Structure 1
Amino acid sequence: MDNIYSEGITLNLKSLGWNQTFEESFKAYESHHFIPGRISIEHKGLYTVLTEHGEMLGEITGKIRFNATGRHDFPAVGDWVAVQANPQEGKAYVHGILPRKSKFSRKAAGLTTDEQIVATNVDTVFLVNALNQDFNLRRLERYLLMAWESGATPVIVLSKADLCEDIQKYLDEVETIAFGVPTFAVSAETGTGLDALSSYITEGETVALLGSSGVGKSTLANKLFGSEVLKTNGIREEDGKGKHTTTHRELLVLESGGILIDTPGMRELQLWEGENSLSHSFQDVEGFAEQCRFRDCTHQNEPGCRVQEAIENGELSEERYTSFVKLQRELAYFARKEDQKLALAERAKWKKIAGDRTRVHRK
């Protein structure tokens, strides 16, 4: 297994993002002589784990697998875990996952209602959008909603600034949907804006890069890392859309002590949760709704509807309101589906436990 940290970077708990909160959570495992580690890459059934002894290839115990009721019960990139380490062989057994301080999730692609955890224990999320024809405010709204719900702090990064003739136009558009969110126009080619981003990646701080394919996440990560550690591709000239480069999530430790998590491009971004942050992301819509004459206003044909009035006089764009309604309905649908799924999983778990006890009793 390649170790990109063998030169110039010494792995220690602080550089990996360890803090007092994680230390308190880890006390439950100390009597077992386990050590803490952080998941840097998720493979099929295996994990790359970073520890003070270096990189190790980890696998989960049967107990974790047995008790799991869903994807959230398995390790994900960014997780702190308690491992039984074998440094000589470069192997580790994952016995537990420490409580997460943040979790960025989306609905897994496909017809099933499954959670896909993109990254955990993230302090700041760089929401990367390219300043080309693939720029999309509605997609950015989704990213913002998910970032707020994750528990991390969003920062909007407008990449490929060297290819844009009117940067201010895009900055003004972003300002209409991202209230108070720091926004930076950057160029990995010229270095413009990179210093501003570096200020977020200090020792022990974890930043995740999120965005569609071809927006320049891997190129940006390489610039911030200081070397070509991630493969990069260009974009299709005819539509400005990217070709997939990153195929897996990966946690990188910088020489400065900061931590970057690069993620695959996500053109399909279906929400997993976010109802609590809908009001935060759509403060303008919620503000107008509070001024409606009737509390149960559906914002359709009721008299005194402030939302419809705002759309008519240009205070609120119809596209923005339509996006709000769509996200609201999507969240409500998945909340109902998840409740049903959790109930079935819990029932199956206890049925299995009861069956095991019956077999033991018969013996």
Structure 2
Amino acid sequence: MSDIELLKRLGWNKHFADEAERLGFDVDDIVRVSGVRRKGFVVRRGDESWWVKAAGRLKRERLYPVAGDWVVVNKKNVITDVLPRRNALSRGAAGVSRKEGGPAVEEQVMAANLDAVLIVCGLDGDFNLRRIERYQTLIYNCELKAVIVLTKADLQAKRDEMVKEVMDVAGGVDVHVVGMDDEAGVEEVRGHMRDGETVTMIGSSGAGKSTLINRLLGEELQVTGAVSDAVGKGKHTTTKRDLIMMPSGGMVIDNPGIREVAFWGDEGGVDATFPEIDEVAGMCKFGDCSHTHEPGCAVRAGVERGEIKEERLENYLKMRGEMSQLADRQEKGAGRSEKERSKGLSMRIKEMHKRKGGKRH
């Protein structure tokens, strides 16, 4: 099998081929990141996987590879370059200090070059409509396709009622229901993993992501098992991100459980998650209507008529507020970065003049 065919099995397409040619990269040196570890990365070409490290400058330049990236690896097994991403699923970096309870201003890229993102939610204690809405907003902010997968359906007596509740907030998104005795639901999910396509899963810890992956594979699998034969390691953990090949030819990037859904990206994701609110918001009497107390508010009128649910509006307003704060903090952060760059340049110029002055005396 040719090098190009090996790459195509992993999702290589014209977009990446054009980028590689534009940047002068040799296709023989290009591989895909299939695993991220503290001490390095696992990369893949066809069925072959091996360990590599990343050049230090990539971290300094904020181009550190993530699962799903296409990268250039040199003869010393060092990643020297990351191809421009077609897209990425990002959130505000977890654990970043936040003054006044506001959003983080650092981006954490969870996975790159995706065809869809599966929101995995259990029909048990994990079930939370407001969290599903937050996941949708996170995905839409990144301009990605969302799919909802409801797991543990066999454990829930009110299954049909809960599924209907999700359908009501899904906004036309595909919703699939999976139980231990339900192969039809698993087959529906497989339909999003066609040959060469990549999806990732997000959800809280215990939502059933790893179990779903095993069902999709048709076998029990330690998530890093596909890598362990090549690198001598492999133990299932919820703290790693791995790209896993499916029998269908598609790929799944398994993500650790998300404890915190901090936003990143464009605020248009909020409007996309709440289309019934976005549709009437432009009819308000005031252009800057907050949809809380103003006269002539079309959104509040929709709530009173029962066309918009109060709890949906509350979540909408909460997320719009977070996105507004994020935009302000990003703008201030960009201003500080520019100021720091200017200050650094000024100091370097002064040092250069001093050195020149010293030579003249």
Sort the TM-score into its range (normalised by shorter chain): 0.7 to 0.9
Q: Distance in 1 between matches of 2:345 and 2:45?
A: 34
CA pair 33-264 structure 1, distance change in 2 beyond 3 A = closer
CA pair 217-294 structure 1, distance change in 2 beyond 3 A = same
- The match for 1:205 is 197
The residue type equivalent to 2:157 in the other structure is: E
SS at match of 1:37: strand
The residue type equivalent to 1:105 in the other structure is: S
Question: Does 127-136 or 56-65 show the bigger shift?
Answer: 56-65
Q: TM-score, normalised by structure 1?
A: 0.83
1:155–1:181 contact (8 Å) kept in structure 2 = yes
**1:81 is aligned to 2:81:** no
- The match for 2:84 is 99
- The match for 1:191 is 183
SS at match of 1:227: coil
Q: Distance in 1 between matches of 2:86 and 2:110?
A: 14
CA pair 248-299 structure 1, distance change in 2 beyond 3 A = same
Q: TM-score, normalised by structure 2?
A: 0.83
Q: 1:168: how far off?
A: 2.2
If each structure's helix is expressed as a fraction of its own residues, which one has the higher value? 2
Q: Distance in 1 between matches of 2:37 and 2:348?
A: 31
**1:16 is aligned to 2:13:** no
Q: Distance in 2 between matches of 1:135 and 1:223?
A: 21
- The match for 1:325 is 317
Q: Distance in 1 between matches of 2:346 and 2:298?
A: 56
- The match for 2:269 is 277
2:10–2:46 contact (8 Å) kept in structure 1 = no
1:208–1:260 contact (8 Å) kept in structure 2 = yes
SS at match of 2:329: helix
Gaps of 5+ in 2: 98-103, 225-235, 357-361
Q: Distance in 2 between matches of 1:101 and 1:207?
A: 13
CA pair 52-185 structure 1, distance change in 2 beyond 3 A = closer
SS at match of 2:283: coil
The residue type equivalent to 1:138 in the other structure is: R
Q: Distance in 2 between matches of 1:74 and 1:343?
A: 23
Question: Does 284-293 or 115-124 show the bigger shift?
Answer: 284-293
Q: 1:190: how far off?
A: 4.0
Q: Distance in 2 between matches of 1:120 and 1:140?
A: 21
- The match for 2:111 is 119
2:43–2:52 contact (8 Å) kept in structure 1 = yes
Deviations 1:221-280 (A, max 9, x none): 112123322369xxxxxxxxxxx9511111111232110011111121111224022221
Q: Distance in 2 between matches of 1:84 and 1:212?
A: 37
- The match for 1:56 is 50
Q: 1:212: how far off?
A: 0.7
**1:160 is aligned to 2:152:** yes
2:9–2:46 contact (8 Å) kept in structure 1 = no
- The match for 2:218 is 226
Identity of aligned residues (%): 35
Q: Distance in 2 between matches of 1:257 and 1:277?
A: 30
Deviations 1:47-72 (A, max 9, x none): 11112482122222244344x1x4xx
- The match for 2:21 is 27
- The match for 1:109 is 94
1:213–1:245 contact (8 Å) kept in structure 2 = no
Q: 1:327: how far off?
A: 0.3
Q: Distance in 1 between matches of 2:42 and 2:342?
A: 32
Deviations 1:273-316 (A, max 9, x none): 24022221111111222222333323233332221122223221
The residue type equivalent to 2:48 in the other structure is: G
1:35–1:84 contact (8 Å) kept in structure 2 = yes
2:89–2:109 contact (8 Å) kept in structure 1 = yes
Question: Does 259-268 or 345-354 show the bigger shift?
Answer: 345-354
**1:37 is aligned to 2:22:** no
Q: Distance in 1 between matches of 2:281 and 2:164?
A: 24
RMSD: 2.7
Q: Distance in 2 between matches of 1:163 and 1:177?
A: 22
Deviations 1:106-157 (A, max 9, x none): 1122243322111111101111111113211110011111112223211110
CA pair 171-51 structure 1, distance change in 2 beyond 3 A = same
The residue type equivalent to 1:213 in the other structure is: S
CA pair 24-58 structure 1, distance change in 2 beyond 3 A = same
